[in-house]
Structure 1
């Protein structure tokens, strides 16, 4: 079965997500930003979502995780929870 591993940062506004993405583009550490800014419980794990299988997450997030390039910051992605920045670091 296909699987992937990803990290994400979840924030309430698109503006906040875009500012964080800009900081990441300038070299800020993803883990530090996730711990400080994410509203998801995964922030305690530096934003790490662990091993993910199809059907576990919301479709917009899964589309990024299983279809977009690895090791690139994707987003902001809007869901009912807020705006996500996602980095996929492994896919099988």
Structure 2
């Protein structure tokens, strides 16, 4: 199994919630990721590319492979911070 996903990583749940609200109000995920994400994927608009089970930390893995597609999930807490995750494809 593999999936196509993108995410935004920030330090606090409050930052993640504020960004999630901005996404809900129509702001572009890739623009917000480039501006706010602490992950190296920020350069690609948060694009994680093709992901396979076990590649990501367990909590993010569960979101990518178990939660509904095309929905912004989070904030999801990991050892790195708080993530907003969106999955486009799973198969």
TM-score band by shorter chain is over 0.9
TM-score (norm 1): 0.98
Distance in 2 between residues matched to 1:25 and 1:88, nearest whole Å? 16
Structure 1 distance, partners of 2:34, 2:65, is 24
TM-score for both structures, normalised by structure 2: 0.99
Report how many aligned residue pairs link the two structures.
91
CA distance in 1, matches of 2:53, 2:38: 23
Unaligned segments of structure 1, at least 5 residues: none
Match of 1:57, SS state, is coil
* Aligned equivalents of 2:62, 2:54: Cα separation in 1: 11
Q: In 2, Cα distance between the equivalents of 1:28 and 1:89?
A: 18
RMSD: 0.4
User: Which ranges of 4 or more aligned residues in structure 1 deviate by more than 2 Å?
Assistant: none
Superposed counterparts of 1:1-92, under 5 Å: 2-92=1-91
- In structure 2, distance between residues paired with 1:72 and 1:26: 14
